Every structure is written in C-alpha cells, then in structure tokens.
Amino acid sequence: MKQILWFRRDLRIQDNKILEKASNEVLPIFIFDKNILEKLDRDDKRVTFIYDAVLALKKSLQSLGLDLYIFFDTPKNVFMKLKKEGFDEVLCSSDFDSYAIKRDKEINEIIPLKRYLDSFLINPRKNLKRDGTPYKVFTPFYKSLSWLSSSDKIGEAQINQNQKLYKYENKTPTLEELGFKRADLPEFLKKTPQNRLNDFKEKVEEYEKNRDIFYKDGTSNLGVDLRFGTLSPRMIFNEIRKSNKKNSEIFIRQLFWREFYNYILFHFPKSENENWKNIEITWSEDEEDFQKWCEGKTGIPIIDAAMRHFNKTGMMHNRLRMIVSSFLCKNLLIDWKKGEQYFAKKLLDYDASSNIGSWQWAASTGADSVPYFRIFNPYLQSGKFDKEAIFIKSVIPELKDVDVKLIHVEGALKDKYISPIVQMRYSRDRAIRVFKEAKNAKV
C-alpha cells in the first residue's frame, strides 16, 4: 500500500488524522495551489504565514523520519504526475467550501481520496434535527451538541509509527519563486502556535470583558491557527477545558459558532454567493462610497480606524468587524458580498464559511442573523469600547490632538477631520425602509 499524505488545512503533526491513519509507504506533500495563488496580491501576508508554517511542518515531519515534498502547481497537475508512481490512495483532511469540493472531486478521479475530519469538531453531514433537516438557528444547534461542548476532553489523533517514507525527487520553491515577497506579520504570529495558545490560556478569564476593547490584546489570536491548522480545534478545546479557568465557556461557545457557520455553508452552499434568506435588497451601487469604506476615508473615526488598521495588518477585532459590516450593509446600503470579497482578500484568518456567515449575519440576510432594524451606531460603539479613543488615535494621526469627546459625537469634528459621507439618522431610516420593503415583498 502506497499512500500520499496531502497536507492542506492541517499544518501540524500533533492531533493529525492523516498521520494516525497512514501506514506502510507514504509520501507527505503540500501544494501551493496556482489556482488560488494567482488571484492574490504579491504581498499577501497569508502566503508568508503559510510558507513559514509549511517549512516548520517539513522540519517536524523530518523529526519523525519522514519529510514533506512541496509543490507549486495546480493539484490536478501534481496528482497526474504522482499517479505514475503507483500510489493507491490519497489521505487528506475534509474541506467544505465550493472550490475545495470541486477540487477534491477532480483529484478523486485521478487517485482515490480518503478524507478525515480534522479542521472542525463535527461533520456537518451529521447532527441533523429529528426530521432529518439541518438546524438553522445557532442556539438549538449548540444545545444539540451539549454532549460535545460540555465534555472534559475530545479525543485527539495519535501518530501511527508504522510509516516508511517514499522518497521522491522534488525541490522546495522559494517564496520568490512562488511570485510573492515576504510580508511583515503581526508580532504575535512570530511565536509558535503552542506559545500563542499558552498566552491565551493566561488571559481567558478576562476574555469576555476584554475581547471588545479595541486597544487591548483581549482576543484569542488563534483564528489564523484554526484557519490553517497549525493548531486543531480539538487541541484548543482540550487545552482551554483543561485550564479550568473562569469564563472559558464563553470562548468555547465561539468555537461552536465557527462550527455552525461551516455547517450552514455545507447544507446551503448557495449562501456563498446569494442571500441565505429569500429576500431581494435594493443595494446601492455607489462605488465611491465603497472605496472610501475600503480605504478608511468615510469621515467616521471608528470605521476609518478599523479599516486602516485592517488594511495594514490583516487583523480586526470581532466587534470591529460587526461595526464596519453593519455600516457598509445598512448605513451605506452596499451589498454584503462586496464587503465579504474585500475581507477575503485581506483577512489573515480568512475562512470562507465564517466570513460569509458573519457578513450575512450583519446584513440581516443570513441564518440566525441580526434583525434588519438593529443597526450599530458607530459613534456609540466607539464611545463604549474605545472611550479614550486610544485605538482610534493610534491609527489616525490627524486626530491625535483632538478632544476625545468630539470623536464620539456625530458632526462634532467639523474642519478637524474628513466630513462624514453619510448621516446616521438618515441612513438608518433608509436602511429600515429598504429592508422592510424587501421583507414585505417576500410575503
């Protein structure tokens, strides 16, 4: 039996299903997929992160007497070449977005694929309601998984020692040969995945209180690890559960929101490009407004600070994501798909299901989404979660010497800053009217 171990969203050796299931002669590989890379900017930070993670995985596999062969090509071309080597099957982790499903179907016709659940805690094909239909609301979905969410430990995969490396001649491409230049990553990403997890365990008790404070390092900082599998969700769940820290349940619930959005996208694949709710919104086509939102030039301090920081770092607090997405979809009345696509280009921890689910939530078009009449007021949000404007002033230097109180009041900045592109009261009333009309038209 000769097996290809195709690493994808599981860039680690600990708790890795394919290393548990593999035996006999194996060829571990990673593919820098030209189909994906050709669509990215040359300075995309994610490629730098993945490249370093792949090299770290190669080193880890070498410590087991194995290796990692790294390709830069389309998956189809790679497997057409490897088929000639007489491999019996390909072992890989399951992936559920539309591109992954199409890609895996194509590869399965070349060499049979065996897929294992490794990037998520549950298989979205399972955990249906009694009538055999999928859950559409988070709370009952979460309650149905209480057997898992309340467990002391979720079983992790163990490495099968009965593996022998199939040696293959292959040169590891450089980052430059992939067509990218090394990008600066946030400081926390220069630590090892385990150290990031250890850091979060130390602050998990303050997670609920600090995660919304924009200038504090209160989030888990584990989104990138979950996205690319440098840590598994099982490992994170087990470490947080084992720490037995106060408020850890708040974070565990967030892990299950990630599961929910993957579950929704799997059962409703059209929601990747369409409103999950069957309503038609009359979106604005104002490209100038959209570009000002993208560049952080709306004239509304917290929106601009969030977007400028995002453009520079690829990172954004969850509450800031809610604020800027609500502003785009409701106050500017611009299609959530445009915001989702912009985030997809730049988010370091971009995950299709979570990003789509979150944008549809904010736009009131998705599963268990916010009511259409709930519209974040960015001034109230910044006043509550950045009271002293520490975050805003750190990002927008032209506001450095401006009185804090003026920053959180609509119209108070006048000639001290860019004029706002939209008024809150007017844009709120307009959004409610448009969404109400769409809802009534559906009925």
DSSP tag of 329: I
Homologous superfamily (CATH) for 287-442: DNA Cyclobutane Dipyrimidine Photolyase, subunit A, domain 3 (1.10.579.10)
Angstrom CA distances, 393 to 175, 302, 309, 400, stand at 35, 10, 11, 5
pLDDT of residue 247: 83
pLDDT of residue 84: 95
C-alpha 104, offset from chain centre: 21
pLDDT of residue 441: 67
DSSP H helical ranges for 347-407: 352-362, 378-385, 390-395, 404-407
pLDDT of residue 97: 86
**Spans of the chain, pLDDT less than 50:** 443
pLDDT of residue 442: 59
Domain boundaries, the chain: 2-119, 120-154+194-267, 287-442
Q: Which fold has domain 2-119?
A: Rossmann fold (3.40.50)
Phi, psi of 107, deg, nearest 5:
-70, -35
CATH 1.25.40.80 fits 120-154+194-267, yes or no: yes
The 3-state DSSP class for residue 187 equals helix
pLDDT of residue 228: 97
The 3-state DSSP class for residue 29 equals strand
pTM of this structure: 0.94
Phi, psi of 91, deg, nearest 5:
-105, 130
- The per-residue pLDDT for range 358-388, each reduced to its tens digit, is 999 999 999 999 999 999 999 999 999 999 9
pLDDT of residue 443: 44
pLDDT of residue 409: 97
- The per-residue pLDDT for range 287-339, each reduced to its tens digit, is 999 999 999 999 999 999 999 999 999 999 999 999 999 999 999 999 999 99
pLDDT of residue 207: 93
